[in-house]
Chains A and B, each alone.
Chain A
Amino acid sequence: MNLPHAPSPAVAAPARRSPFRQSLLVRLSIMFALGGLLVAAILVIGNRVLDDAKQRLENTVIRQVQPLAATHRLQTRSNELRTLELELPTVRDVFALPQYAERMQVEIEAMTAELAPFLVALASTRPDDARRLEKHWANYRGDLQEVIQLAGKMDLAAAEAITSTRTRTAHAAISSILRELVSATEQAATEAYRQAREEQQRQQRFFLMLSLGGFLFLAAGLVVFARSLSRRLRTVRDAATRLAAGEEREPIAISGDDEISDLGQAFNAMQEIVVSREHSLRAAQEELEDRVAQRTQALATANARLWMLSQAVEQNPIGVLIASADRRVEYANAAYVRVTGRPADTQLASSLPEAADPERSREVDAEFRAALLACEDWDGERRSCRPDGSEYWEHLRLVAMRTEQGRPEHLLLMREDITERRTQEEKVAYQAYYDSLTALPNRTLALDRLQQATGRAAREGTMCAVMFIDLDNFKQINDTIGHVAGDELLCQASVRLRSVIRAEDTVARLGGDEFLIILGVAQASDADAVATKIIQAFTPPFQIEGREFTASPSIGVSLFPDDGNAPSVLLRNADLAMYEAKDAGRNTFRFFNQKIHDDSVARMEIERELRGALDRGELQVHFQPLVAARDGRLVGAEALLRWTHPVLGRVPPDRFIPIAEQSGLIVSIGSWVLDQACGHAACWREACGGDFVIAVNVSPRQFATPGLVDTIRACVERHAIPRNQLEIEVTEGLLIRNPGEVREAMLALEAIGVTVALDDFGTGYSSLSYLRAFPFHTIKIDRSFIRDLSDDAEDCALVVAAIRMARALGLRVVAEGVETEVQSRFLAHQESDVLQGYLFGPPIPPEDFVADWVHNPSRRAFSS
């Protein structure tokens, strides 16, 4: 094992030094002292030479420039005076004259003060010019004083006479002398400058020669000294090279008695130590390299992250601008330029670029400015304008990036073009509040407008009117010519409605063919007039796809505050009044009144009572016999609903069934009736010989409810109703609404053995196409035709035709409302199949029907 710090003998015992030895320090000091003295001498001499030349040149320039500058100042003042005196006569307001006079006086005094020393200096070199200049200035000053006097006198014409003649001459003479002086001074200056430059160049050459000699002497001394050092230093260098290369490591011998010989000995000692430390250094180096590699890897990772973040900013579609705390812009990405339409400024301005709508942007701009000046976070939106004139919505976000101490260091301004988003929002808002077909306000906006209108009317003590409009025969037109044409009709109707009201009033479409109008009115008669105009506006037919259609409006009107305060109440009352208009024959209008209100209340009362009627057992199913026309034999019964209320008494079916239909109660009640009818029919069938047809009315509302066919099927199965012994009676209204679905339901009923009868035949459209398109089994001729059979020949003909037609189509015919023997015989003669009416019996409770018909065979065979 080596001992790295064990000194060799040479190192341990250094050679004894001579007390007089010439060390390198001494020798170098002597050389540098000599060299320094030489350089200092050269610099002192050179500096003196250059200063002398520079001073001479400056003096030359100053001697010439000062007169030139003074001449120029005089020329400027002279011209200023000339301008003032020329402007003075053109003054339009005499009260402004003192301003000019005062300024002229100030300029004259300044010119005099400036000219005095100039003339003294000029007199020493060009006495003639000095005398001429003094004389002309005296003349000019005199003229100007006269002009000032005339200004005080407000005699502008006289002043102009002087300025256009005398002062022009005087000023021209002064200008001419000054120009001559300038020219002469410039010539003298050029010559003096040339001489000074030549002297300066000569002295520069002398200085260069002196410097060159000094440096050559110094260089020679250095070469001699360097050669003596070089040889011994090479020995040490070669040994060091070998040591570094790991080659021969023998001690070296250096001659002399100076620091270099000391260096040789020290090198030998160092060589020993170096060898011993190499090992430890190598180990340390390896460890260090490991650390460097780790740091390098970390740095590369950080750089990659930094690059990634910078790319994220650079590629960001949001315009990003970074400025220092003093608002100097340091960075702006490409999107910033794209969003704003112009390059970023070098300074983040306290005001935003031009706004598309300055009035609406004022508040946002002020907030932005305040935030920017306070270095606070802020964000907002505004509509801006690019330099090319295009407008856009932008979202601005200002973020102050702070140091750990909270001091704002940078400002980050993000500008995002949100035009598309705002457009989308506006579109969504529009769709939320406007009907897409007619572009009229929809129900939501209409209710809002109504709220505003009532609020305004309440504040101003005025009234407003609400008109609920329904197109009378829109559905028929829509079904006849299709939805596209129906939509066109609605559009044209909206245009007509819009045309009859004022711009500040509202027309809205509530849905379907229902419109709402909100008017501000002074009195009820104003609404009356508008409603009349609406009726008139709908008088001309609508032109749709080359065809003409007539659609009349039914209008219900309610008034604020007479008919209610809340918008919902006004709307409901207008709706009620509209139904009143419908009931009054359509194509008319009705104001909401007490009767409508009472009827509505009564309807609501009935509806409320009807809701519990089933549970309270107030409903009953009555049965009216159906007899064969041929022999009067009982063939079945029609189930009819009856309601006996403990207070209201017996409520007529035509009063409560429409309410049940409207409220939807008919679904549950209808199911109950069906079940009751089928149950009784099942009980009575045996007693009636196995054939007993039970007819049950089914309303359109029941048909619209999913699962009707399943309900009927379950009922048929529950009560084991044979095929063709349950007949469902429907009206034509059902067929109009959803013909496709109804047809499918009828076919499904036919499949389970349930027949379908068309009730009240003859009262509606009685379209033959219905009979062909739907799988009916029976038609029931309405009682209104049967009632007048004996008196009205036309009714006879219609009934006969209906029976013939049904026969031809293979349908069974039931005649309703038979009350006389004559009618009965006629119908039997015409081969009607079944008869129904008071002649045979009224609708009666099931227990009475059992007693009167089921257990009374003679009655069953009443007519036979």
Chain B
Amino acid sequence: MPSRRFLVPLLAAALCAAGALVAPDARAGEQAYKAVAAARKLIASGQVPAGSRLTLGFKQGNVNAFLGTDLALQKEWENLTGIVLDVHIVPQQPIRETLRGTPDIDIAVARNHEYPDLLADGLITDIGPFMAEYGYRFDDNDSDGYIRPELQSKVGERTVAIPADGDVVLLYLRRDLMENAQEQAAFRKTYGRALAAPKTWAEYEDLVRFFHRPAQGLYGAAEERDEEGAWMFWMPRFLSSAAPHAELFDEQMRPRLDMPGAIAATENYIALVKYSPPGITDAGRNYNFTLPLFAQGKAFATMNTIAAARMFNTEGSAVRGKFAAVPLPGGRVDNRTVRHNTLIYGNNLVIPKSARNARLAFLYAMWLTDPDVSTRSIGVAGGFADPYRWNHLRDARIRKIYTPEALETFSGEWAVTQPAGTGLRGDAQYLAALDRNLTAAARGEIGAQEAMNRTSSEWEQITDKLGRAEQIRQWAEFRRQFGNRK
């Protein structure tokens, strides 16, 4: 009977050997193996006491995705390393508030646009040194690499997060209605063109207008107009309002919201309210309000991440097999279509500055986001995290959960995806001002022009307060990340 000290390495070796035999790619499993080996080395050297505890600050919905069904992934990590995972369920609020109030978290979940504020406030760790020390890099090879890791992991030149989610925006339409011959005929008669997925935001508005039939219990659009996160549904419209892409500020950090394209984007954002269900602009009417409407067949269109496809494809969904996830529309600039997407929610992993076991937390995150391990993590029906590696898109379980068509659109949208938020220190303040004025406009309290004017004014004040010179430097750094990938 072998002793425990031999049993664990034997088991790990067997697992690795099994992984090597069944894995589709030679590198799959290597990332996890390195992380486990490094964790064991830390324990053997006495740098980390055996049986140490890693405190994970996850939101309720993250638990299945990051720990597996019936905590299978948690048990696997604990068996391999002896490091105990202690999950603290943190409230649904900006992670900045959570990290300020809960200092003993070793690893937490953050949204892409939150990174600059978290870094500026000294709340998260620069993991670049760890990456270098352990020989890791966020490989973006199309076999099993991360998808556009530079958008999900960096602030300027500093690496601050490990990608663990892929929240680009998709447009969901009722395919059954669009394929209906009578509807197609009626649409052609009204608009003089075929009923098809919209290429521009104007076409999108036509489609929504056409299908808006509240008397029949069908609303044209169920797109979120909640104040919190209003920028997420405005930003794609704005980015595609100029070629090669619109910019929020000029080189001196003067807001560029008074440009005709910005006003048009805002008007399109506002225009959809009248084709939406009543109360769409009320506070708290987020995706918990819009997704059920679409899932119950009461809306023609909605916008959300790839996660919505998983929800619509659930048994019981009224639109299962009847919906289509299509690319976002674009803007017409100089007789050509400019399309841009952006990262919105996001559940990526950051290591708080106050983490007691930062090194271990990093190794755990690298293990969790390994091609193999993460495929099992994403292939969970009730998870929050969505595909973020290329091999996820080819996995049979994941394709069954999300539908191959939605994953195909999702894969294509990454090429036109731009970094999230403003990329600036003070991002939360900038976006809050934008959200507030967009919502006031959506509620009809002010016009699009006024909303942009007020936002510009408030942004100027924020910039002056934070120090224009430093903001100019950060904006210049952020602008360099823009551009499409083919």
A155 within 8 A of B: yes
A445 within 8 A of B: no
- Most B CB contacts (10 A, CB to CB) among A92, A94, A151, A155 go to A94
Check if B292 sits within 8 Å of A94, measured CB to CB.
yes
A370 to B50, CA, bound (A): 12
Contacts of A370 in B (CB 8 A): 46
Supplied contacts A97-B311, A99-B382, 8 more A-B pairs, CB within 8 Å: A92-B92, A93-B92, A95-B61, A96-B382, A98-B382, A148-B316, A369-B49, A373-B46
B174, chain A: closest CB distance, angstroms: 15
A150, chain B: closest CB distance, angstroms: 6
Which of B61, B64, B287, B315 touches A149 (beta carbons < 8 Å)? B315
Contacts of B61 in A (CB 8 A): 93, 95-96, 99
Check if A154 sits within 8 Å of B46, measured CB to CB.
no
A448 within 8 A of B: no
Do A150 and B382 form a contact, CB below 8 Å, given A94-B291, A94-B311, A156-B292? no
Binding site for A on B (CB under 8 A): 46, 49, 60-61, 64, 92, 287-288, 291-292, 295-296, 307, 310-311, 314-318, 320, 381-382, 384
Check if A154 sits within 8 Å of B381, measured CB to CB.
no
Interface of A is mostly: helix
Contacts of B64 in A (CB 8 A): 99
A350 within 8 A of B: yes
Q: Mark A354-369, 1 if CB is under 8 A from B, else 0.
A: 0000000000000001
Name the residue on B nearest A351 (C-beta). Answer: B49
Name the residue on A nearest B318 (C-beta). Answer: A153
Check if A98 sits within 8 Å of B46, measured CB to CB.
no
Contacts of A744 in B (CB 8 A): none
Do A153 and B316 form a contact, CB below 8 Å, given A94-B311, A96-B60, A98-B381? yes
Binding site for B on A (CB under 8 A): 92-102, 148-156, 350, 369-370, 373-374
- Most B CB contacts (10 A, CB to CB) among A155, A156, A350 go to A155
Do A350 and B382 form a contact, CB below 8 Å, given A94-B291, A152-B315, A154-B295? no
A150 to B296, CA, bound (A): 9
A350, chain B: closest CB distance, angstroms: 7
Contacts of B382 in A (CB 8 A): 96, 98-102
Do A95 and B307 form a contact, CB below 8 Å, given A149-B316, A153-B318? yes
Contacts of A153 in B (CB 8 A): 292, 295-296, 316-318
In the complex, 24 of the A-B residue pairs with CB atoms within 8 angstroms, ordered by the A residue number, are A92-B288, A93-B60, A93-B61, A95-B61, A95-B287, A95-B311, A96-B61, A98-B314, A98-B382, A99-B64, A99-B381, A101-B314, A149-B315, A150-B316, A151-B314, A152-B315, A153-B316, A154-B292, A154-B296, A154-B311, A154-B317, A155-B292, A373-B46, A373-B49
A362, chain B: closest CB distance, angstroms: 10
Contacts of B310 in A (CB 8 A): 98
Name the residue on A nearest B63 (C-beta). Answer: A99
- Which 6 A-B pairs rank lowest in CB-CB distance, beginning with the nearest? A152-B316, A99-B382, A154-B292, A149-B316, A152-B314, A98-B382
A109, chain B: closest CB distance, angstroms: 14
Contacts of A150 in B (CB 8 A): 316
Name the residue on A nearest B287 (C-beta). Answer: A94
B285, chain A: closest CB distance, angstroms: 13
A98 to B384, CA, bound (A): 10
Contacts of A93 in B (CB 8 A): 60-61, 92, 288
A370 to B314, CA, bound (A): 52
Contacts of B287 in A (CB 8 A): 94-95
- Most B CB contacts (10 A, CB to CB) among A95, A96, A148, A152 go to A95
Check if B316 sits within 8 Å of A151, measured CB to CB.
yes
A99 to B60, CA, bound (A): 11
A433 to B330, CA, bound (A): 73
Check if B49 sits within 8 Å of A98, measured CB to CB.
no
Do A95 and B316 form a contact, CB below 8 Å, given A153-B296, A154-B296, A374-B46? no
A155 to B314, CA, bound (A): 13
A337 to B311, CA, bound (A): 61
Contacts of B49 in A (CB 8 A): 350, 369, 373
Contacts of A98 in B (CB 8 A): 310-311, 314, 381-382
Name the residue on B nearest A98 (C-beta). Answer: B382
A100 to B64, CA, bound (A): 11
B360, chain A: closest CB distance, angstroms: 15
